[in-house]
Structure 1
Amino acid sequence: MIKKIFPVLAALALFSCNQEQKKEQKEVEIKTSEVTVTNHSYSKLDEVKTLHLNLELSLDVDKKIIEGIARHRVKNAGFKKVYFDIKDLNIEKVTLGDKNNEYDARFEIGEYDSLLGSPLIVDLDIGDLFVNIYYSTSPSAEALGWLAPELTGSGKYPFLYTQGQAILTRSWIPVQDTPENRITYSATVKVPEGMLPLMSATNPTELNESGVYHFEMKQPIPSYLLALTVGELEYRKLSDNSGVYAEPHMIDAAEKEFKDIPKMIDAAEGLYGDYLWDIYDVVVLPYSFPFGGMENPRLTFVTPTLIAGDGSLVSTIAHELAHSWSGNLVTNASWDDFWLNEGFTVYFENRIMEEVYGKEVADMLAIIELQELKNTISEMNKEGNQKDTHLKLNLDNRNPDDGMTDIAYGKGSFFLKTIESKVGREKFDVFINGYFNAHKFETLTTEDFVNYLNKNLPELSEMGFNTEEWIYGAGIPDNIVKVESKKFEIAEQLASDIKEGKNLPKDLKRKDKTTQEWMAFIRGFNGELEKDKMIALDKQLNFKNSGNSEIMSEWYVLGIKNDYKEIRPEMKAFLTKVGRRKYLEPLYTTLASSEETLEWGREVYKEARPNYHAISFNTVDEILFSK
């Protein structure tokens, strides 16, 4: 996905403590050169940085806004200004001093950028340690997913969730929005009756009568992991340190689907040390959630598309759990280094899956990852974006979402797999354990990692292993480790036989193979299969309405390419229900490949777009309307 960066808009204003005073103030010009951007943030962490954030929040579900106070306890290195990131926030006033001794502060809001938002610049006395920002969000805040009651299971209550990664936290909290800074936080949240709020922090498990809830996150986290969700939610305990939340209509299925979470935690701890976040809970969000999962500490957010009924898609849970070490515990210092989060996490996810479900399952998942990586590299090469196939990126003046591709995930994980194959698993496990322990609750650059690698696995360079080729080079190096699966070979051969005209077996059943095998089968057609054969396969296997989102999305893409219009009712139902970008992007991209399918896709999108989060509809907008 490549997103356009639009020109910066000039809109500078001096704000005061109330609305009337705002109207009387003259505009204050701030020269662009005076406001620097580092790591997609206006904050100047070497001058003044937040140590702890205390939030006081109140939800207005009718207006779709959050009203709040963000109280920053800061560390001042001797400077008279502090810089925060904001985007489409209404800043009512700023004060200095602790809660019982506040006084008004002078502040300015710098010019607005369509990607970065604006700098909020507050004048300080050198001794000031507390900055209090009174604000409210916009109804269209990019981080906030507001859902009307009719889009929830019971239809009784609205729903809210946040999605801060990469740089969207600034649209719901005035904050120094860069992964480079880690902070602790606390919060008090007031919500309407009947709704339960949860955060990436300590959480309640049931409603209280007051509607006021308190939260604490005592471990320091980067700003993109600040998270909130509010809705009609129930909790089921899975073990002493794990459980699942979901809407009432889905809680039984969620509890059953994710029953192996305790086993995953045990496997992860056995591999790479203690889980340091106390509790690992999962909350199943509504279908508009744009990602498979988000690793918010203590409370992973997941899409309901993972609930396939047979536990076949729980690798996403293993992935988000793995983030508790790679990403949450040791974090990329900038979005150029995103692979440090995701490459390690995919590698670790695969190890968890192997430990819990066996090597055969883990190998199939790795092969799928490699297939998707090769497709991404092929598309990037066609578009002339070879530099985006490097692990270390340069995302200056670009949306950091541009780096959230299969390169970070797949190439990053295979880089680590290849190192493991060279030095041996036992030695590599010692290395990773040491890496996590040495850098816990820290942020690292790619160069920091390379230095640690060279120091702690010097035999790699002695073998002639070219680390720079993997990190700073394009594509996939020739020495990539080979992963094979007999089951995949059988599934791909079956696809080849059907494609070449051999008789379709009459006893195919979907339960005969895993989700991953059926994905290999569908991909084995390489995008070409006669419509009559697709119809015959659907009669036996019902891919078009299987309930498994991975299979359905693969099948729909194949159907679009082969004029299988009979699946359009099922595809429309899928597109209007599911907001996960992983599925939407290939489906709408394939629909955009011809005039007729593009027209149909646009018609469906008119109905579907209100059900999507901004992360998803921004992507689809560009796919369908950039021509």
Structure 2
Amino acid sequence: MRNQILAALLLTAAPAAALAQTVAPILTTPEAKDAWTYARPAEARVTHVDLDLDVDFADKVVRGTAILDVLAARGAKEIVLDTLDLDILSISDERGRKLAYTVGAKDAELGSPLTIRLGGAKKIRIAYKSQSGARALQWLTPEQTAGKRHPYLFSQGQSINNRSWIPTQDSPGIRQTWRAQITVPEGLTAVMSARADTPAGRKMGTRRAFTFTMAHPVPPYLIAIAVGDLTFKPIGPRTGVWSEAGMLDTATREFADVEKMIDAAQKLYGPYRWGRYDMLVLPPSFPYGGMENPNLTFLTPTIVTGDKSNTDVVAHELAHSWSGNLVTNATWADSWLNEGFTTYFENRIMESLYGKERAAISSELDFAGMLRDVKGAGGDTAPSTRLHGEPGDSAGQLDYMKGSTFLRTIEHTVGRAKWDVYLRGYFDRHAFQPQTSAGFLADLRKNLIRGDKALEAKLQLDRWVFQPGVPSNAVHVKSQTLRQIDSLLAAFNAGGPASAIEPRGWSTQQWKRFLDNLPRQQSAARLNELDAALGLTKSPNAYVQSAWFDLAIANRYDPIVPALEEYLTRVGRNLLVTPLYRGLKAQGDWGDPIARRIFAKARPGYHPVTVGAVTKILDAS
């Protein structure tokens, strides 16, 4: 790649041979400048983080040290890190000499720059502690866990939350290796997104220390931690599940196909480079469906429904081991390079395991979601419907859905065999490196299009990436299964009885197709009929409940309010709860008081990410 990479040869902190193996490049093209970091990596950048932290459940903080390896350009005098509400106690070099530093003004989203005078230091040691409200960390009391006996801690780093518990350069384009020693109360287990060097820990008085190593350079948002009353059960030679004991057997059965998923992924796009692929099933307050932390995917329990219909989430997080973890968006303006690629790759894994129709269901739902998000953003001219745009400004889930549709369109245009050869080569060429939209398109033109002007025009590459809306060549995959659901919808909407609908054996995707496409205006009698026939309020499927509550809220249907309150105080996954708060807010004098009352009760059990999202909804004018 020749797009002005800041190579190790320009820097002077270590021998070139060693850097070639361990230090990822920094992209220096204009579009690779990250607006969400204070760092100036072309001058001085972090290459490795060594953490030694104590987890304090009483004060809800982590405290200890971070030792950072620094690679500085010749003549660089200082390094700038990202922090968010960290208490910095002292900073010194590798010889113990104090280093001067300043903490800059705080921005509510980005935090504060920590500027450190290097004085020639190649390592800096920062003694610090987090604050109890650290944005990345959620602290659960024993009563908020399944076991009710021990507290629980977990993190969510993406996109720029880790600066609230780790002082480093918190940008996806500044990849870093890392090591950690985590000390926790005796009786608890610490797990992290890295190789576990001491899986059982080692006793240290009344506490226990666990150590971890990530030998590959990764974007810092992928450093993740969880501490709790955790147990482990293997699935296969490379895989297993961590969770509280009560969820372990159920989750292991649900994820039984994960070894096959890894095999399918490797056949498609090359070797799995991370060693183990374990999963941690978190409490229901986890704000996302899954998080692709290397070696240890974090998962919400809401995907465990007993029928494997939501294991596409597992396939998605596994696919991130290539798209996102291996080749990473250099800035959050190009997050589609992570999520669009991964959604496409997830679909290919699911097709390999479960057949074309299962993949077609997801493809069609993604296409419908893309059109819905474009419409909701204001139509085909809305800037937020671009793939490459302002960081964090993409409408809805367009990074996922428009991005995957773009790649599927390329596949259908050039042919699957040719596309797969290209994509496997792409992951190999850019392994453990950052990437931009411009860089991807340059690689595509060089290695796939190869000067074919007719193909270039047919693909509409720049239109897909840099322009709003949906290009005219978008491939729309159709599903026969969803056609059957659409027929049931048509019959019901024409006045047919709910009792004529037989949902036995429906997957989550079929339920969602039906519920999401019911007209938003329904009478109380019709809603009561639906609930009585289909058991929606008491559904064991969290996706079904969320979709049902959304419809009921739109019609101010009072009978669901007690169940809605129970749901919102139990589930903290953003995808499922924020639409409900948004719907309540939109219902003004009926819904707004309900939303505020429930949020006041539910807030202590939500992750800070969810608290922030709901607060933004309720505070909107």
Superposed CA offset, 1:307-363 (max 9, x none): 112211111000000000000000000111111000000000000111111111111
Equivalent residue for 1:416?
Answer: 407
Equivalent residue for 2:441?
Answer: 450
Equivalent residue for 1:479?
Answer: 473
Q: How does 1:90-169 map to 2 (within 5 A)?
A: 90-97=87-94, 101-126=95-120, 128-169=121-162
- Which secondary structure state, in structure 2, belongs to the residue aligned with residue 239 of structure 1? coil
Distance 1:152 1:604 in 2: 20
How far the C-alpha of 1:208 sits from its partner, in A, is 4.8
Range with bigger deviation, 208-217 or 220-229: 208-217
The alignment status of 1:589 with 2:582, answered yes or no, reads yes
Distance 1:169 1:50 in 2: 15
Distance 1:385 1:611 in 2: 39
Equivalent residue for 1:525?
Answer: 518
Distance 1:549 1:47 in 2: 48
User: Among 422, 427, 437, which residue is 2:428 paired with?
Assistant: 437
Equivalent residue for 2:235?
Answer: 238
- Which secondary structure state, in structure 1, belongs to the residue aligned with residue 226 of structure 2? strand
Q: How does 1:255-334 map to 2 (within 5 A)?
A: 255-334=252-331
Distance 1:295 1:333 in 2: 17
How far the C-alpha of 1:526 sits from its partner, in A, is 3.2
Give the count of matched residue pairs: 580
Does the Cα contact within 8 Å between 1:179 and 1:222 map onto a contact in 2? yes
Does the Cα contact within 8 Å between 1:189 and 1:213 map onto a contact in 2? yes
Does the Cα contact within 8 Å between 2:265 and 2:319 map onto a contact in 1? yes
Q: How does 1:217-232 map to 2 (within 5 A)?
A: 217-232=214-229
Does the Cα contact within 8 Å between 2:556 and 2:591 map onto a contact in 1? no
Distance 2:341 2:453 in 1: 20
Superposed CA offset, 1:58-86 (max 9, x none): 01100000002000011121211111111
- Which secondary structure state, in structure 1, belongs to the residue aligned with residue 249 of structure 2? helix
Does the Cα contact within 8 Å between 1:59 and 1:66 map onto a contact in 2? yes
Range with bigger deviation, 321-330 or 102-111: 102-111
Does the Cα contact within 8 Å between 1:39 and 1:178 map onto a contact in 2? no
How far the C-alpha of 1:213 sits from its partner, in A, is 0.8
How far the C-alpha of 1:486 sits from its partner, in A, is 1.5
Does the Cα contact within 8 Å between 2:201 and 2:211 map onto a contact in 1? no
Equivalent residue for 2:5?
Answer: none
How far the C-alpha of 1:406 sits from its partner, in A, is 1.2
Distance 2:504 2:376 in 1: 33
User: Among 525, 535, 544, which residue is 1:542 paired with?
Assistant: 535
How far the C-alpha of 1:118 sits from its partner, in A, is 0.9
Distance 1:213 1:458 in 2: 49
Q: How does 1:362-511 map to 2 (within 5 A)?
A: 362-381=359-378, 386-395=382-391, 400=392, 402-403=393-394, 405-458=396-449, 461-463=453-455, 464-465=457-458, 466-506=460-500, 508-511=501-504
How far the C-alpha of 1:562 sits from its partner, in A, is 2.3
Q: How does 1:570-581 map to 2 (within 5 A)?
A: 570-581=563-574
Q: Which amino acid aligns with 1:154?
A: G
How far the C-alpha of 1:593 sits from its partner, in A, is 1.3
Distance 2:276 2:607 in 1: 28
Does the Cα contact within 8 Å between 1:195 and 1:207 map onto a contact in 2? no
Equivalent residue for 1:49?
Answer: 45
How far the C-alpha of 1:192 sits from its partner, in A, is 0.5
Equivalent residue for 2:548?
Answer: 555
Q: Which amino acid aligns with 2:48?
A: H
- Which secondary structure state, in structure 1, belongs to the residue aligned with residue 284 of structure 2? coil
How far the C-alpha of 1:533 sits from its partner, in A, is 2.6
How far the C-alpha of 1:404 sits from its partner, in A, is 7.7
The alignment status of 1:59 with 2:29, answered yes or no, reads no
- Which secondary structure state, in structure 2, belongs to the residue aligned with residue 622 of structure 1? helix
Q: Which amino acid aligns with 2:112?
A: S
Equivalent residue for 2:614?
Answer: 620
- Which secondary structure state, in structure 2, belongs to the residue aligned with residue 53 of structure 1? strand
Where do 5+ consecutive residues of structure 1 fail to align?
A: 1-36
How far the C-alpha of 1:456 sits from its partner, in A, is 1.5
Range with bigger deviation, 172-181 or 561-570: 561-570
TM-score, normalised relative to structure 1:
0.90
The alignment status of 1:516 with 2:509, answered yes or no, reads yes
- Which secondary structure state, in structure 2, belongs to the residue aligned with residue 296 of structure 1? coil
Equivalent residue for 1:358?
Answer: 355
Does the Cα contact within 8 Å between 2:387 and 2:394 map onto a contact in 1? no
- Which secondary structure state, in structure 2, belongs to the residue aligned with residue 103 of structure 1? coil
Equivalent residue for 1:605?
Answer: 599
Equivalent residue for 1:10?
Answer: none
Superposed CA offset, 1:36-63 (max 9, x none): x943111111111111111000011000
Q: Which amino acid aligns with 2:445?
A: N
Where do 5+ consecutive residues of structure 2 fail to align?
A: 1-32
Equivalent residue for 1:26?
Answer: none
Superposed CA offset, 1:154-188 (max 9, x none): 11111111111111111000010111111110111
How far the C-alpha of 1:521 sits from its partner, in A, is 1.3
How far the C-alpha of 1:257 sits from its partner, in A, is 1.0
Q: Which amino acid aligns with 1:82?
A: I
TM-score, normalised relative to structure 2:
0.91
Following TM superposition, the consecutive aligned residue runs of length 4 or more in structure 1 with deviations greater than 4 angstroms are: 204-208
Q: Which amino acid aligns with 1:470?
A: W
Equivalent residue for 2:78?
Answer: 81
How far the C-alpha of 1:206 sits from its partner, in A, is 4.2
Distance 1:183 1:385 in 2: 38
Does the Cα contact within 8 Å between 1:205 and 1:235 map onto a contact in 2? no
Distance 2:431 2:218 in 1: 11
Does the Cα contact within 8 Å between 2:234 and 2:240 map onto a contact in 1? yes
Q: Residues 587 and 577 from structure 1, CA distance in 2 versus in 1: closer, same or farther, beyond 3 angstroms?
A: same
- What is the aligned-residue identity percentage? 38
Range with bigger deviation, 148-157 or 486-495: 486-495
User: Among 335, 343, 365, which residue is 1:338 paired with?
Assistant: 335
Distance 1:405 1:173 in 2: 29
- Which secondary structure state, in structure 2, belongs to the residue aligned with residue 104 of structure 1? coil
Does the Cα contact within 8 Å between 1:338 and 1:404 map onto a contact in 2? no
Distance 1:113 1:385 in 2: 31
How far the C-alpha of 1:403 sits from its partner, in A, is 3.8
Q: Which amino acid aligns with 1:54?
A: D
